[in-house]
Structure formats: structure tokens, C-alpha cells
A and B are shown apart, each in its own frame.
Chain A
Amino acid sequence: MASLMSAQQAVKARNGQFALPVHSSEGSAGIPVAFDAAAAGPSSAAADPRSDHIDHGVTQAPYERRFSPYEFNGGTTLAISGPDYAVVAADTRLSSGYEILSRNVTKLHPLTDKCVLGSAGCKTDIDQLRSVLDIKMKVYEHNHRKPMSTPSVAQMLGNTLYYKRFFPYYSFNVLAGIDSEGKGAVYSYDAIGSFERTPFSASGSGQSFLIPLMDNVISHKNRNDEKRQLPSDEVVEIVKDAFVTAGERDIYTGDAVEIMVITKDGIKTETFKLKAD
């Protein structure tokens, strides 16, 4: 140990600087600066500073290395309910930082034939959450001899998220479907399972672009003209416009939008291309 210390002091005295600080996502490490072996003498024989260039905060100032279990894979989801239909849409881009990992990954997941889950956030957490939900729904079907109704799915998803209250699923969900009376239902969630039935819901990186627009067009806020019931094809056009907007202004949203319309007769899917930039 003593010889190591003297080696470092020798290098420090020579060029006034021990190591080039290197910062990476895993924390900072020091890379030793090479010093000429001719003048090294006893200190170079004692220890080679290059061999332990990750200092672990022992000899230099202590630093913290952090591994983050979460990553944000981007994306936006939107769901709107109608009198007898629900529309849910999500973009198909998967990104990590400034890179696009895939242009064709779906964020929508049908849970029953009357209920679709859309999630944005960390893809691995989303996949795991879906796995868990699918298993729980199968168990329910075996025990109750009928598929789960949408309000039950909503409650179950809320509970499942809260199970992991202290190490949450990084998943921002919207649930859309037809409830037991045949009306459209949309539920919004936060990451730890608080949920509420709402007329529409948007989540993900582009949510702030979409929500005020939905307030204005769907809930008719701040408008003086007559409010009227919107048919499902008009709502789909509104959704397409909204995603064009979100795709323009949000870097994580784009490539294509997958739109699912859920009615009592089943689920119809449509894909609409967006700008790929």
C-alpha cells in the first residue's frame, strides 16, 4: 500500500496531475497519465497505476457510482371514450436517449376482446406488467368461468401497480374498453396505481401536447358552440391530427400511430404513418 501511495505521489509531482477524470454513465473513473519509464526508477517497479484505474473512491475523493434500473423508452398513448365505442392509439417508436431502437414496436395490448391497454415508459417494465396481467386474467377466467369485465381489469391493474409501490413499474398506462353496460370507458393511471375513469386520457412523453387539445375538442371546454356527440370515425380523425402534432413537437413520438377502435363487436386496428424524423 505504501509503495502504491509513493508511486502516485511521484506521478503527481512529475506532471501535477494524477489522472484524467473520465465521466461515464456508470460514474467517473480515473485513467492514469503515462510517465516516462526512464526517470521512473523504483516507483515504477513498485506498482503500475494503470492496473487499478478504477479507483473506487479509495485513494482519491470518494464518488458515487450509480446504476439506474429505469430507462425511458419514449412514446405517447391516447385514449378517448364515446357513447358505445372507445378509441385507443399509440405511436410505434421505441427510443433510448437520442437513438431510435425501433420504428415498429406496438404499445397497445388487448387484454380481452373488449379491453385494450396502452402503455408508455420503460419497455421492460411494461412487458413484465403485461405478463403479470395476462396471468392474473387467465386465473380469473378459470375461477369465474367468464372473461374479466373492463372495470374489473381497471381495478386489477391499479392493484398490480400498487403491489410494487416502493419499486414501481415505470409504466404510464391508459386502459380503454367497453364497460358492462356497453358504453365506452377510459381509465388513466399513474405509475403507482392511482386510477380514475375519465372521458379521455393521454400519457407518455407527448401528453402535454395532447391533453389541452382533447380538453378543447372532446370535452368542449372554453367553447361557446353546441357540444355534439362525435362518431367514432371523426374521433379517429381527431386522434390522427393530434398525433401529427405530437410527432412534430416531441422527439420521442413519431414513425407511425396504431389506432384501435373497440366496440361491442370487437377491435379494429388501423396504422397511420407519421414523420420519421
Chain B
Amino acid sequence: NDRLFVGLGGLATDVQTVDQLLKFRQNLYELREERQMSPKVFSNVLSNLLYEKRFGPYFIEPVVAGLDENNKPFLSGMDLIGAPVYTDDFVVTGTATGNMYGMCETLYKPDMEPEELFETLSQALLASVDRDALSGWGAVVHVITKDGVTSRELKGRQD
């Protein structure tokens, strides 16, 4: 929904399947509970979904980001069998994780404004994927605030 985003990276077919499964479970939750699913719950649902396939996993490494009911930001990352890590600064997954950890660790500071956060994230992402042969061809950045989501497409090196 508008305050909850999930990023699924990995095998494309599993990305699509898990995306559909998540939508299904989210819809069912919202019909039963008559309220929006909070990011913490969503992250848990995803973690469960992945661990159900513990011995034949979905090959995806997701990140979950969103604002909960009190507009507090929530982040979590997971490995392919659903082990979650909850942080308050940043989560990274994909082929360029080493690059991104370095960039994020150096450029991150707490309590940034949305514009500054967007700049920081874009620089970190662009610099990291430029040094990775398997990533690139542009990027999409969503900045989630209590007033809404701003989505921007970045043009990077097209190689």
C-alpha cells in the first residue's frame, strides 16, 4: 500500500510468485482485520512464507520498508529462508552488497530530511552498482513520508 514497500531481488520467477503470494495474504488480512497491515506484520508474514520453503527455498532476498501506524519508519531485510534483520539505519541486499555496505556506512547519518535522504541513497546506490557488472541500467527511488510517496527514476550508466 502507500506506506509499505517491499523490494524483491533475485530469481525473477520467484519474485513474481512471492509478490502474488504476498498480495494474497495482505488482502486476506485486510478483509479479516478491517485495517491496513503494518510493516512489522508484513515482514513477519514474508519471513514465515519463506521459511515454509526451508528445504526448497524461493531464491529471493527481500527488503521491507514502510511507516507504521505512528509514522515511525520501519526497515527489515531478509535472507532467502526468511531470517530477518531489523535495523534503524539501512538494509542492503543483492549482488553488490559489499559495495553498498561500504557506501551506506560512510554516507549515512541519522535524522536526515527526505531530500537529503534521497540524495544520500541515490549516491550510494549509483556508486555501488557502477562497480558491479551484474547491476545497473538505472534505478528507481521511493521516498515514503507521512504525506505520501515520491518516486523518482535515476538515470545511471547504461552499461
Contact = CB atoms under 8 A, between A and B. Distances in A.
Interface of A: 206, 208-213, 215-216, 221-223, 241-242, 244-246, 248-249
B106 A213 contact: yes
B130 A249 contact: no
Contact of B131 (A212, A242, A248, A249): A212
Contacts of A206: 102
Given A222-B123, A222-B156, A223-B123, A213 B130 contact: no
B152 to A, nearest CB: 14
Contact of B127 (A215, A242, A248, A249): A215
Contacts of B101: 209, 245, 249
Interface string B116-141: 00000011101110110000000000
Contacts of B106: 213, 241-242, 244-245
Contact of A213 (B102, B122, B126, B156): B102
A209 B105 contact: yes
B87 to A, nearest CB: 13
Nearest to A216: B127
A69 B124 CA distance: 38
Contacts of A215: 127, 130-131
B156 A212 contact: no
Interface of B: 98-103, 105-107, 122-124, 126-128, 130-131, 156
A123 B128 CA distance: 29
A216 B102 contact: no
A209 B130 CA distance: 13
A206 B126 CA distance: 19
A211 B99 contact: yes
B105 A249 contact: yes
B41 to A, nearest CB: 30
A212 B105 contact: no
Chain A CB within 10 A, most for which of B99, B103, B122, B127: B127
A223 B100 CA distance: 17
B99 A216 contact: no
Contacts of A249: 101-102, 105
B123 A245 contact: no
B98 A208 contact: yes
A242 B102 CA distance: 8
Nearest to B97: A208
Contacts of B131: 208, 211-212, 215
26 contacts: A206-B102, A208-B98, A208-B131, A209-B101, A209-B105, A211-B99, A211-B102, A212-B99, A212-B103, A212-B130, A213-B102, A213-B103, A213-B107, A213-B127, A216-B103, A216-B123, A216-B127, A222-B122, A222-B123, A222-B126, A222-B130, A245-B101, A245-B106, A246-B102, A248-B105, A249-B102
Contacts of A241: 106
Contacts of B102: 206, 208-213, 242, 245-246, 249
A216 B103 CA distance: 9
A222 B139 CA distance: 13
- Top 7 closest A-B pairs, CB basis? A209-B102, A208-B98, A212-B127, A216-B127, A245-B105, A222-B126, A212-B99
Contacts of A242: 102, 106
Contacts of A222: 122-123, 126-127, 130, 156
A241 B109 CA distance: 13
A209 B156 contact: no
Chain B CB within 10 A, most for which of A210, A213, A242: A213
A215 B129 CA distance: 11
A213 B124 CA distance: 8
A211 B96 CA distance: 12
